[in-house]
């Protein structure tokens, strides 16, 4: 039996605030599409998986072990953090403060994403 993508999504959501995605019946497909895009970005970064990370539909073609699941979940978290850092909203609200250093703030955000 192949590993469902939902297994990876659940491991990912355990590592981030699940409230970031308002999961309702109306937007369930949009949220899953977003998770799939983050998963695709994570798969590209997984250098030497022990099994194939190809998937079809809502399942991987092979059974993934806990190691692969956790690595993918961590890579998804990293992609999610990068997305959060890359938004202008993170720095716009502080941009007008006198003692705000944009370079220092961006440096701290980037270190969070490492």
pLDDT for 28: 82
Q: Categorize the per-residue pLDDT at 30 as very low, low, confident or very high, splitting at 50, 70 and 90.
A: confident
Residue 94 has pLDDT above 60, yes or no: no
Angle at 85 between CA 90 and CA 47, to 5 degrees: 175
Q: How far is CA 76 from the centre of its chain?
A: 3
What six digits make up the tokens of 93? 């609200």
- Its pTM stands at 0.76
Q: Which residue has the higher pLDDT, 26 or 61?
A: 61
Residue 20 has pLDDT above 70, yes or no: no
pLDDT for 103: 76
């Amino acid at each position: 039996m192949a590993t469902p993508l939902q297994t990876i999504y659940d491991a990912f959501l355990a590592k981030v605030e699940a409230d970031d995605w308002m999961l309702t019946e109306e937007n369930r497909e949009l949220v899953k599409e977003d998770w799939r895009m983050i998963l695709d970005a994570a798969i590209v970064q997984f250098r030497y998986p022990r099994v194939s990370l190809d998937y079809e539909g809502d399942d991987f073609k092979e059974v993934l072990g806990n190691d692969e699941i956790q690595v993918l979940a961590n890579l998804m978290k990293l992609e999610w953090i990068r997305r959060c850092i890359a938004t202008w909203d993170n720095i716009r609200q502080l941009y007008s403060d006198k003692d705000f250093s944009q370079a220092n703030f961006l440096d701290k955000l980037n270190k969070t994403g490492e």
